[in-house]
Homo-oligomer: A and B are copies of this chain.
């Protein structure tokens, strides 16, 4: 267990390093107004904190830097969520002033504002459309042999896929097919679309229309629509001194382009605010980064927010901001619709 003095010193070191990005020395600490001990005492305490694995040195005679474990301790025990400034709140709320805005617009803007306010990179996961329920299905013929199928969900999401029309598939087949689909698939969650289509509905379709199998194959043979990602401040990382190394930078950027790896950042996708610091992340590209995630609700479906910054991140501020945006998004998406 840490003494009060150790807590105090750790706090100063983390706070200092977060703003300066420079290792913190004992003299520097002792100069702080509220610190009453001498540099020598502080050095002793720092040696202890280092033994516990909370601090590190960059070389034998350098000042101290928080370790990942040190940040973890800081996040768990030391930081106190700050109230946001009026300006920050106003900025965030400006996203919601346009009543006509669509879900996608709002999320896009949120991502941008979050990255501006934090000066880190934000990634937002759009509401998970797979849990939307099917409201209406229609088919529009384009040419003799192609048509586009459109699915509208109860939350206003629209999905469409162009498909090849089987040869013996007449206009009346189209009509019948649309009727059957709408009757049988109404209110079915999007995630069960393909499944339903290939089981119950298949039989029905085969009875009433030509080339049913081919038709179904056309509709289901399609990559599942992926949850959309929205980025803000992609280049903010270039401003961070820890990323003046082009190699680290490339690893990080490559990771952010890779859908699968980005999805992993959001795991576990549970309510509440989650923080993963440096090596707590699975990805090597993230070993110098921390990520703060949270979820928001839009009706029955869930979306998520992530902020990626250096481990030397202003946790207090970012947590407050993310939480505020989370609440506002959830509120906006549940009153309007």
Contact = CB atoms under 8 A, between A and B. Distances in A.
Interface of A: 99-100, 102-103, 135-136, 138, 140, 142-143, 146, 148, 150, 152, 154-156, 158, 160-164, 218, 221-222, 234-235, 238-239, 243-244, 246, 249-250, 253-254, 257, 336-337
Identify whether the interface residues of A are mostly helix, strand, loop, or mixed.
Answer: mixed
Given A246-B246, A254-B235, A142 B161 contact: no
Interface centre among A155, A243, A246 (most CB of B within 10 A): A246
Contacts of A162: 102-103, 156
A253 B239 contact: no
Given A150-B150, A234-B253, A246-B246, 7 more contacts: A100-B218, A103-B162, A142-B337, A143-B337, A148-B152, A152-B160, A239-B250
Nearest to A161: B102
Contacts of A244: 246
B235 A146 contact: no
Contact of A160 (B100, B154, B158, B243): B158
Interface centre among A142, A154, A336 (most CB of B within 10 A): A142
A102 B164 CA distance: 10
Contacts of A250: 235, 238-239
Given A158-B160, A160-B158, A239-B250, A146 B257 contact: no
Q: How many copies of this chain does one complex carry?
A: 2
A156 B142 contact: yes
Contacts of A222: 100
10 contacts: A100-B221, A102-B162, A138-B138, A142-B155, A146-B156, A148-B152, A152-B160, A235-B250, A238-B246, A239-B250
A154 B142 contact: yes
A142 B150 contact: no
Contact of A235 (B135, B161, B218, B257): B257
A79 B100 CA distance: 54
A156 B142 CA distance: 7
Interface centre among A100, A243, A249 (most CB of B within 10 A): A100
Contacts of A221: 100
A138 B249 CA distance: 47
A158 B163 CA distance: 13
A244 B253 CA distance: 15
B143 A135 contact: no
A163 B100 contact: yes
Contacts of A158: 148, 150, 158, 160
Contacts of A253: 234-235, 238
A206 B294 CA distance: 47
Q: Which 10 A-B pairs have the closest CB atoms?
A: A158-B160, A238-B250, A235-B253, A140-B152, A156-B162, A136-B140, A148-B156, A102-B162, A142-B156, A235-B254
